[in-house]
């Protein structure tokens, strides 16, 4: 199966600043991918490169086996909902569907109209009069009705209240199941990723810190708590991701496939938020980049 997104040494530079640097990824198709990291980490830059709105300064990127925006066929494969869930304030819901039909050769008008009806959107109502949640749902409808193979969403629920976020993400999951979509979803809300994503990519300071299947990542990471110890004394196969210390106690997040037998440690499991935060701490970013778990 063709990968959803592949990048090799990918970088984007603005003047003297790298917004994305040495990005190497191999994201499988058929997954719901959570792309997470602090503000300014390079998430939006990566997604804009993936849809062809930006050209790389270094390296290479392939989406569904082709170069982003390389032609009408490639454009038709990818749906994109940008960070501000773009809609046209002066156009009605019906006008948006007409525009979608004109611009997209694979447009599924029956799907779009059915979604609008199920969501309770008035076709005659202008987008500027819709709530934030309704505009987000309209933007998602446009993305899905395009009938893409890959749907890319950049912080689509950042401005929504909790109920609207839940409804949006539920609609997204229903679309994934119904239409066999691959999805890349950027968000800084880890709770949303826990509900929707089965594959994780963490970007920090313009570089990929970790990527892999969520279940595999959670299985391979552990919290070790015990008497204060220098992390350098741990076995070689225990990669320290983050560390904190008091005068008497050390708490380490480690990544290892091997059993942990040292009786001095209390070993605990991590949740997804714990895992993400471990890779976002300064001690983690100073360490070498780790390979993806597959």
Q: 51-92: per-residue pLDDT in tens?
A: 999 999 999 999 999 999 999 999 999 999 987 777 999 999
* Residues 87 and 119 sit within 8 Å (Cβ to Cβ): no
- Please state which of the four CATH numbers 3.10.290.10, 3.30.1330.20, 3.40.50.300, 3.65.10.10 is assigned to the domain occupying 5-205: 3.40.50.300
Strand partners, 60: 8
Q: Which pLDDT score, from 0 to 100, does residue 12 have?
A: 96
What CA–CA distance (Å, rounded) separates 138 from 123?
11
Q: Which two tokens stand for residue 45?
A: 């830059």
Q: Which pLDDT score, from 0 to 100, does residue 192 have?
A: 84
pLDDT of residue 1 exceeding 90, the answer is no
Render pLDDT for 217-274 as a digit per residue (tens, 0 to 9): 999 999 999 999 999 999 999 999 999 999 999 999 999 999 999 999 999 999 999 9
Instruction: Quickly state the pLDDT bin for 286 (edges 50, 70, 90).
Output: very low
Mean pLDDT of 208-223: 96
Instruction: Quickly state the pLDDT bin for 288 (edges 50, 70, 90).
Output: very low
Q: What is the mean pLDDT of the chain?
A: 91
pLDDT of residue 292 exceeding 70, the answer is no
Please state the domain extents for the chain: 5-205, 215-285
Mean pLDDT of 122-150: 94
Give the C-alpha distances (Å, rounded to integers) separating 113 from 95, 108, 116, 178. Answer: 12, 9, 5, 16
pLDDT of residue 33 exceeding 90, the answer is yes
């Amino acid at each position: 199966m063709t990968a959803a997104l592949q990048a090799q040494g990918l970088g984007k530079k603005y003047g003297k600043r790298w917004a994305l640097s040495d990005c190497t990824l191999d994201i499988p198709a058929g997954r719901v991918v959570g792309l997470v990291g602090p503000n300014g980490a390079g998430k939006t830059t990566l997604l804009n490169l993936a849809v062809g709105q930006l050209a790389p300064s270094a390296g290479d990127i392939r989406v569904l086996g082709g170069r982003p925006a390389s032609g009408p066929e490639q454009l038709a494969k990818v749906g994109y909902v940008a960070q501000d869930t773009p809609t046209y304030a002066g156009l009605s819901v019906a006008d948006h569907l007409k525009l979608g039909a004109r611009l997209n050769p694979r447009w599924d008008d029956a799907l779009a109209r059915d979604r609008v009806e199920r969501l309770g959107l008035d076709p005659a109502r202008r987008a500027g009069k819709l709530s934030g949640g309704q505009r987000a749902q309209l933007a998602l409808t446009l993305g899905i009705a395009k009938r893409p193979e890959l749907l890319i969403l950049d912080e689509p629920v950042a401005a929504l209240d909790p109920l609207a976020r839940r409804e949006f993400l539920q609609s997204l999951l229903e679309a994934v199941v119904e239409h066999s979509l691959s999805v890349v979803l950027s968000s800084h809300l880890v709770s949303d990723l826990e509900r929707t994503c089965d594959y994780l990519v963490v970007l920090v300071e313009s570089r990929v810190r970790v990527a892999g299947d969520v279940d595999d990542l959670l299985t391979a990471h552990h919290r070790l708590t015990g008497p204060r110890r220098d992390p350098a004394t741990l076995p070689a196969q225990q990669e320290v991701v983050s560390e904190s210390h008091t005068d008497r106690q050390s708490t380490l997040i480690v990544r290892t496939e091997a059993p942990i037998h040292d009786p001095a440690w209390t070993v605990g499991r991590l949740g997804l938020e714990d895992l993400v935060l471990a890779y976002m701490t300064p001690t983690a970013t100073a360490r070498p980049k780790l390979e993806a778990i597959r």
